[in-house]
């Protein structure tokens, strides 16, 4: 490190970098006061008679009333999906199926601003991310799987691929529309029909998506969306008319689902939690690596299953890295998710905020050193500042448990072997990052890290052609790519 770099890293963050507010207009979104359940191609009143409000986490304002599906509602949705499967969808020419998927992809592109604003309103993520990541990737998933719909015979030669039937899909609140796309696109491309349940706190883009389905003239019943809480998810899992369950969410619920399905013939894929190591070697391009660390943990407020929540820094560059990191953290703008300058938005729910606070308090109690850059948090809503913990021992809860918030735990290592040992010292195995100039070291690390996805000199990159999924308590099965079709197929 040169003297000049040292001075730069010690100099305070420029305080004159104030940005005038640049809020995205909400006018593009028209919300209904109340939403029913989307079953058989139309919105129906829930038999349960129950509704709840979807709340904006940035303002705590109720946005719309959304139905809670009960057992009878789930049963109706499964029946509609079964009818659609048996009476048309599984039989139509695959190239026709592809046409619907292409249409959905194009409509998502056309209406992307509307979806991005709604995603940020309902979930609290910065508009910059919903606009530049969630929406383009959602459309890309539909485009990608549309391309496979009429090529399954070539994708799985000599194996006679056939659809499984009705897919029950349960998704979380961190990437509501994107997770919907990851689930629905491969299911439809392979000829299945769907009953999908969005998370209780973020149902609105899934409900707007029903409008896209109608616009695309998808036959009624091919996709059914039932909103509700965990009870509705559990109903989908145990319903005998469901042939395949796809779940993304917490490891605890994933285990419950696995137990519930033991002994049945239902297919299952689980995409669960993570505690990824982002490993920085001393030959890495440090400024780029610091950007990767920031993106790895503060993207989407850290509500990311593959977040780089454990930073492993080689001891020789520890001080430099931490100085650069703290300086960069000082430039992050926390606040209104609809402001185009915002880097870190609102925490998705009060419940999640309490969980983050509890784990952060545990980190301080166990002896780690906390750093949070000065930042003013809005008075209303649920917020947590970007946080980094140093002096972290591997046994601390903040090094072991998934915080699912903007909180980074820093550990150090001396040798590649030690880096691998520490990186793998977790019950999870979803993702990892490696930063080094040496190609051979990247390959060596990739062979030794027990993680489903390993990024080299980048982080949080996604592509529909690339399979995603975990080892150990991060689940099993892959989503994305050719691999993502297999769970939706049986072979004759």
Q: Catalytic positions, please?
A: 271, 305
Which parts of 292-436 are beta strand (E)?
Answer: 310-314, 369-371, 387-390, 407-413, 431-435
In angstroms, the Cα distances linking 25 to 54, 57, 117 are: 20, 17, 8
In angstroms, the Cα distances linking 199 to 84, 148, 357, 418, 456 are: 24, 28, 22, 39, 32
Nearer to ligand NDP, 32 or 354 (CB): 354
Least distance from ligand NDP to the Cβ atom of residue 230, Å: 3
Q: Please, are residues 278 and 293 in contact by the beta-carbon 8 Å criterion?
A: yes
Nearer to ligand NDP, 206 or 317 (CB): 206
Least distance from ligand NDP to the Cβ atom of residue 163, Å: 23
Q: In angstroms, rounded to a whole number, what is the distance separating the alpha carbons of residues 40 and 18?
A: 51
Q: In angstroms, rounded to a whole number, what is the distance separating the alpha carbons of residues 214 and 220?
A: 8
Q: In angstroms, rounded to a whole number, what is the distance separating the alpha carbons of residues 205 and 211?
A: 10
- Number of Cβ within 10 Å of residue 328's Cβ equals 18
Q: What is the DSSP string of 229-274?
A: -HHHHHHHHH-TT--EEEEES-HHHHHHHHHHHTTS--EEEEE---
Which one-letter DSSP state was computed for residue 13?
P
Q: In angstroms, rounded to a whole number, what is the distance separating the alpha carbons of residues 466 and 455?
A: 12
Least distance from ligand NDP to the Cβ atom of residue 256, Å: 5
Nearer to ligand NDP, 97 or 266 (CB): 266
Terminus-to-terminus CA distance in the chain, angstroms? 62
The owner of tokens 């999906």 is 81
Q: In angstroms, rounded to a whole number, what is the distance separating the alpha carbons of residues 195 and 91?
A: 19
Least distance from ligand NDP to the Cβ atom of residue 203, Å: 8
Nearer to ligand NDP, 140 or 242 (CB): 242
Q: Please, are residues 141 and 465 in contact by the beta-carbon 8 Å criterion?
A: no
Least distance from ligand NDP to the Cβ atom of residue 263, Å: 17
Residues 6+ apart with CB under 8 A from 9: 320, 323, 324, 327
Least distance from ligand NDP to the Cβ atom of residue 225, Å: 12
Nearer to ligand NDP, 51 or 156 (CB): 51
Least distance from ligand NDP to the Cβ atom of residue 255, Å: 10
Nearer to ligand NDP, 174 or 224 (CB): 174
Sites of contact with ligand NDP (CB under 6 A): 170-174, 197, 199-200, 229-230, 233-234, 237, 248-250, 253, 256-257, 271-273, 305, 352, 355, 402, 404
Nearer to ligand NDP, 206 or 279 (CB): 206
Q: In angstroms, rounded to a whole number, what is the distance separating the alpha carbons of residues 271 and 418?
A: 28
Mark out the alpha helices in 94-222 (DSSP H runs).
94-110, 112-123, 127-129, 135-148, 152-155, 176-189, 204-215
- Number of Cβ within 10 Å of residue 442's Cβ equals 18
Q: Please, are residues 339 and 23 in contact by the beta-carbon 8 Å criterion?
A: yes
Q: Please, are residues 411 and 311 in contact by the beta-carbon 8 Å criterion?
A: yes
Strand, helix or coil for residue 219: coil
Nearer to ligand NDP, 72 or 96 (CB): 72
In angstroms, the Cα distances linking 311 to 316, 335, 369 are: 14, 25, 14
Nearer to ligand NDP, 161 or 233 (CB): 233
Least distance from ligand NDP to the Cβ atom of residue 469, Å: 11
Least distance from ligand NDP to the Cβ atom of residue 404, Å: 4
């Amino acid at each position: 490190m040169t003297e000049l770099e040292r001075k730069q890293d010690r100099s305070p963050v420029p305080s004159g970098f104030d940005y005038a507010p640049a809020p995205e207009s909400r006018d593009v979104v028209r919300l209904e006061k109340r939403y029913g359940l989307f079953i058989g191609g139309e919105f129906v009143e829930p038999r349960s008679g129950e509704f709840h409000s979807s709340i904006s986490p940035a303002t705590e304002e109720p946005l719309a009333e959304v139905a809670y599906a009960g057992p009878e509602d789930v049963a109706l949705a499964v029946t509609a999906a079964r009818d659609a499967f048996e009476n048309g969808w599984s039989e139509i020419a695959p190239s026709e199926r592809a046409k619907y998927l292409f249409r959905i992809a194009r409509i998502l592109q056309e209406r992307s601003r509307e979806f991005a604003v709604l995603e940020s309103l309902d979930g609290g993520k910065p508009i910059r991310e919903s606009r530049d990541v969630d929406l383009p990737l959602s459309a890309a998933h539909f485009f990608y799987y549309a391309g496979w719909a009429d090529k399954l015979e070539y994708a799985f030669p000599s194996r006679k691929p056939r659809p499984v039937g009705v897919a029950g899909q349960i998704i979380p609140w961190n990437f509501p529309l994107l997770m919907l796309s990851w689930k629905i696109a491969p299911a439809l491309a392979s000829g299945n029909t769907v009953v999908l349940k969005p998370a209780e706190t973020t149902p609105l883009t899934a409900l707007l998506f029903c409008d896209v389905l109608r616009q695309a003239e998808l036959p009624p019943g091919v996709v059914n969306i039932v909103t509700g809480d965990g009870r509705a998810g559990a109903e989908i899992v145990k319903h005998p008319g469901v042939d395949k369950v796809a779940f993304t969410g917490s490891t605890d619920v994933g285990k419950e689902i696995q137990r519930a399905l033991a002994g049945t013939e239902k297919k299952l894929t689980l995409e669960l939690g993570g505690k990824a190591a982002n490993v920085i070697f001393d030959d890495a391009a440090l400024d780029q690596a610091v950007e990767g660390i920031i993106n790895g943990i503060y993207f989407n407020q850290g509500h990311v299953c593959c977040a780089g929540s454990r930073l492993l820094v080689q001891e020789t560059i520890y001080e430099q890295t931490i100085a650069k990191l703290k300086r960069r953290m000082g430039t992050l703008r926390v606040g209104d998710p609809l402001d185009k300058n915002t880097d870190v938005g609102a925490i998705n729910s009060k419940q999640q905020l309490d969980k983050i606070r509890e784990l952060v308090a545990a980190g301080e109690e166990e002896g780690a050193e906390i750093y949070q850059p000065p930042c003013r948090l809005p008075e209303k809503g649920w917020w947590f500042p970007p946080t980094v913990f140093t002096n972290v021992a591997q046994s601390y809860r903040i090094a072991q448990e998934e915080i699912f918030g903007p909180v980074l735990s820093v550990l150090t290592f001396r040798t590649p072997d030690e880096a691998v040992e520490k990186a793998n010292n977790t019950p999870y195995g979803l993702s990892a990052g490696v930063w080094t100039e040496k190609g051979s070291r990247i390959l060596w690390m990739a062979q030794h890290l027990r993680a489903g996805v390993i990024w080299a000199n980048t982080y949080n990159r996604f592509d529909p052609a690339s399979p995603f999924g975990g080892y150990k308590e991060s689940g099993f099965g892959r989503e994305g790519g050719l691999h993502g079709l297999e769970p939706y197929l049986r072979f004759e």
